[in-house]
Structure 1
């Protein structure tokens, strides 16, 4: 009898409305970039199961989405250049604000800073943000460069004589020309978005001047662990990775003191965006997830867990005091005033930057 009913049951299941079948949300995000409790709570409150994958470079994310039919409902591209390029390629779906009442919780000032590439903020909401700077092993840097060294400048790394002294204790640079080259140009006193031949030559000369002292050029997620264990004493990377490394080093209690250097020359400011691919299989679940994340208590929990600032001001009172008052997490106004947002260079300039970066990685 059951065998006779089985085809009928399959037919009924196939024709049930989506709400009556299992709902699944497919998320593609940076590694170590969310509070696991938030994911579990979302499923508990909505009944939507989350399939969560991670990546460690923007190139990986962009490759997945550019190929089409990625199967993801939520992605978290950095505003420049990946979000901007995906937007120009028509790879992102406009967001239905009516489905996200918590959109009103977003910081209007931060959203305005990404509106230049997404007019009207139609395709993305700021998730987390931060700066690019140096993670340092404070004691070893002072031992190598002298106790009076100023811990507020890219001089620590980019002056060849300093890099030579620090080489023995381990120098790392994140494998991201998008984030490294603008910071180098700013340190040189040039336009961080400069793409003229002389700008790129100057940046390449600065990088090649320290290349033989750099131990490795690697994904930022790997730098986090190296800083926490003391394997590296200087690393050019994202602020949040350094702050996470600080927390891990304190928990390990092995005498490793990790500090963060926000460059006085002006730090690169970046924004990671919550976005929905144009061919997302479950856009309703994606909208529900964005709306969930933009609740102040949810965003506070994420910031407490990953040590990156978020774009929901009402979450600040709920953030742990040590995190809330850390100027490396939430930079003071004067530091933000010196910061800059890198743009996407023209295609030919971007190709030249890619070739430059390949030479830097090879060391010639």
Structure 2
């Protein structure tokens, strides 16, 4: 065989390999999602991959602070993270988020209401809304009777609840709602005020079975505890398994929060992350997430796709007038954060 013919055969073989490799390269698109535990419908991720060809790896955390700490410690490889409102502001101010121009994404037109331009990202440069909800506490009405709609029942519980209460492993939620109960300002920089919070939490501690933000709805539904500090969506899921569960709208006020999709600096798959975030703002897709998590999204057009059980549960759709109790906490200054850290360390040691 002549040298030219050999070259022709070799060239054809290389071309064939390249043609075969092209679809394989396209299939290799991926992203890594770092989200709260029990907060992502597995079937939804499978459908995203089927529709886009982008594979998703899911990693989990249980608090904003642990997510932030891992990123700051050099935790890399994450393309999408899900920080809450105040944490978005912290991360953006520290230059930890990529400007992905969410407001220019095609599906952003579906976002309506106050979360279209929130205080923590008014131009929606860094984040798209995922779920929003409230934090209070739930209890089993079959085990406890005649509770007042007050944080007093949680922070100063009845004697029969000793060892039967579960608390979120979340210093911001625990301390902020304690401050509300005590009638003290949030982001408190008074050592005397924060000492009162610490004393309250230490007095509560013998009643606490555990501090844990994972599996809250399973724990309450299984009657491992009879009272649990919970997000309202977790309360809904617990109620679906144990109808006697009731979510409390504490009269002193409760936390309003909003979780968001964002891309951290250092992400390797930014274009894939943008595709995912835009895809999640489709009404049908966000509704599927709502039906799984028990929380509402910021997309009214998702309403027709929501389960009837969600729309009928007062934990998910608050009774009229209860929204006046909702308070969204903003990031605190350094002094207040240091006092919160000190109180939480002393309580948890």
From 327, 340, 344, give the equivalent of 1:353. Answer: 340
Aligned pairs for 1:138-157 within 5 A:
138-142=141-145, 148-150=146-148, 152-157=149-154
Contact 1:156–1:163, Cα closer than 8 Å, also in 2: yes
Distance of 1:359 and 1:345 partners within structure 2:
20
From 59, 66, 69, give the equivalent of 2:72. Answer: 66
Q: Which residue of 1 aligns with 2:98?
A: 93
Matched, 1:295 2:290: no
Q: 1:192-220: CA deviations, max 9, x gaps?
A: 332322321221122122222222222x1
Task: Give the CA deviation at 1:358.
Answer: 1.4
3-state secondary structure, aligned to 1:278: coil
Q: 1:152-202: CA deviations, max 9, x gaps?
A: 22121122xx3423115x111111111111111111122233232232122
Q: Which residue of 2 aligns with 1:166?
A: 161
Matched, 1:261 2:248: yes
Task: Give the CA deviation at 1:99.
Answer: 5.8
Aligned pairs for 1:210-289 within 5 A:
210-218=204-212, 220-249=213-242, 257-289=244-276
Q: Which residues of structure 1 form unaligned runs of 5+?
A: 143-147, 251-256
Matched, 1:201 2:190: no
3-state secondary structure, aligned to 2:143: helix
Contact 1:27–1:74, Cα closer than 8 Å, also in 2: yes
Which range moves more in the overlay, 88-97 or 64-73?
A: 64-73
Structure 1 residues 98 and 269, CA gap change in structure 2 (3 angstroms) = closer
Contact 1:69–1:279, Cα closer than 8 Å, also in 2: no
Q: Which residue of 2 aligns with 1:179?
A: 173
How many residue pairs get aligned? The number is 339
Matched, 1:23 2:23: no
Q: CA RMSD in A?
A: 2.6
From 103, 127, 148, give the equivalent of 1:124. Answer: 127
Instruction: Give the alignment's TM-score, normalised by structure 2.
Output: 0.89
Greater CA radius of gyration, 1 or 2?
2
3-state secondary structure, aligned to 2:296: coil
Structure 1 residues 8 and 355, CA gap change in structure 2 (3 angstroms) = farther
Structure 1 residues 8 and 278, CA gap change in structure 2 (3 angstroms) = farther
3-state secondary structure, aligned to 1:359: helix
Task: Give the CA deviation at 1:296.
Answer: 0.8
3-state secondary structure, aligned to 2:224: coil
From 42, 47, 52, give the equivalent of 1:41. Answer: 47
3-state secondary structure, aligned to 2:217: helix
Distance of 2:240 and 2:39 partners within structure 1:
15
Task: Point out 4+ residue stretches in structure 1 off by more than 4 angstroms.
Answer: 15-19
Distance of 2:104 and 2:55 partners within structure 1:
19
3-state secondary structure, aligned to 2:142: helix
Instruction: Give the alignment's TM-score, normalised by structure 1.
Output: 0.85
Contact 1:266–1:335, Cα closer than 8 Å, also in 2: no
Task: Give the CA deviation at 1:247.
Answer: 2.0
Distance of 2:189 and 2:217 partners within structure 1:
30
Q: 1:226-254: CA deviations, max 9, x gaps?
A: 2110010111122222222222336xxxx
Distance of 1:356 and 1:30 partners within structure 2:
24
